[in-house]
Structure 1
Amino acid sequence: MDAPHNELMSALATLLEAGKYSDLTIVCGERRWAVHRAVICSRSGFFDGACSNRFREAETGIIDLSEDEEDAVEHMIKYFYHLDYLVKSRPSSPRARGARSPSPRRPRKLNLALVEDPLLAQAANTTIPSHAIPLTPPDEAASRFESLSLNEKTPMTPHEMEEEADDYFSLAMPEQEVDSAVPHLILHAKMYAIAEKYGIKGLKSLARSKFSTQVEQHWSSAEFPETIQDVYETTVDSDRGLRDIVVQTFRAHPELARRKDVEAVVKETPGVAWDLFRVGWGMPVTA
């Protein structure tokens, strides 16, 4: 399955990088992305509606998202073509420069069963049930997270690396080198919010999974208080996807209540204050 999957992902990444066959432009501030309706509209209810009806966007082929943050829009677009975000552009192939191909990194493997995305499901040749990633954890009383590992690395032998160098170097995307010691809590919260806004189900599931893993690792970071506020200000009360993770973090780490920066955010954010009040009295957070 690796070779067809790598070929599909490489082709999608090339479409975005080269802009070839583009028939739609997304604008955000000073930035522009040449994209493809077949890729974008099949994955987002918002973009499908904008391009299918007699709106100005359908006639001009330009969709202006300048009210959103540029970085969030960029990561959203990268998700459409990479089925992931926080990804870097692929380097040009050494062959194109006349150099000898070095041994490639093993392509990053996603656990396809964890992300609800139609294109990803097709690539995996499997049917993903709608309950694959519930938005609300089934056990609110749990004091720890069920960590969702999206990237399981399998070491390659030198023979395997040499064998794959000729066939797959131009196809395999390089493994994203994201420093796990650096928190990306706010980014994942923003990606969750933008996925909800534009109806991108797979991106929303992926952002929640990344957020859960990051919070488990970086709940004590200086970024966590601002993240709490961002989560509660960018989601509605009925959307418990990230809010439940925040509440579970307080359950698992009661020492958070003694942090002054956390106290300040809780006082300024009625939603989280109300949730923690109910938790303190042993009441369910959700109806």
Structure 2
Amino acid sequence: MYTGNYTDEPSECLESEGDGLELLKHPRVYALADMFRIEELKNLSCKKFELRLQQHWITDAFPDCIREVYLTSTEGSSIRKTVVDAVFSHRKVLVQKRPFQEVIREVVREIGDFAIDFVLKMTNSDVF
């Protein structure tokens, strides 16, 4: 039975997979919570995802995580905002990473919403 929380501890079967699958856990919980309309769980998974990104935004799994979030969430969702905020906060480092450049190009081609959300974030900031 759902108790209003879930563990952040890495699954034993995923520990050998590195940060990639663990980084995807919270967006997947968010997608399920959205599908079943469990707002409290959506909010919780988004907060946990935000905390996880504070350490793992630099990993090679992050661009794949962006793809997953945009493929499994709807326009204007809080989890998309979390991803855009993380990319925006670390944009100077991320754009210098070759793997990030390659995957982000694919993501933008596949899912134009990310590019739109990122440009809107830049427009609403003092970066110009």
TM-score normalised by length of structure 1: 0.36
1:182, distance to aligned residue in structure 2 (A):
3.3
Distance 1:249 1:177, change over 3 A: closer
Paired AA for residue 273 in structure 1: A
Q: Does 1:253 align with 2:93?
A: no
**Kept in 2: contact 1:212–1:245 (CA 8 A):** yes
Aligned CA-pair RMSD: 2.5
Paired AA for residue 117 in structure 2: D
Mapping 1:1-287, distance limit 5 Å:
80-81=2-3, 83-86=4-7, 177-178=9-10, 182-183=19-20, 184-239=22-77, 241-254=78-91, 255-258=93-96, 259=100, 260-280=102-122, 282-283=123-124
Paired AA for residue 250 in structure 1: V
Distance 1:218 1:270, change over 3 A: same
Distance 1:268 1:232, change over 3 A: same
**Kept in 2: contact 1:256–1:262 (CA 8 A):** no
Structure 2: distance between partners of 1:277 and 1:206: 27
What are the ranges of 5 or more consecutive residues in structure 2 without an aligned counterpart? none
**Kept in 2: contact 1:257–1:263 (CA 8 A):** no
3-state secondary structure, aligned to 1:215: helix
Structure 1: distance between partners of 2:19 and 2:76: 30
Structure 2: distance between partners of 1:209 and 1:279: 19
Greater RCO structure (CA 8 Å; 6+ sep): 2
Structure 2: distance between partners of 1:252 and 1:263: 19
Alignment coverage as a number of residue pairs: 114
1:177, distance to aligned residue in structure 2 (A):
4.4
**Kept in 2: contact 1:267–1:273 (CA 8 A):** no
- Structure with greater proportional strand content: 1
Deviations 1:94-132 (A, max 9, x none): xxxxxxxxxxxxxxxxxxxxxxxxxxxxxxxxxxxxxxx
3-state secondary structure, aligned to 2:19: coil
Question: Which protein has the larger Cα radius of gyration, Structure 1 or Structure 2?
Answer: 1
Q: Percent of pairs identical after alignment?
A: 28
- Structure with greater proportional helix content: 2
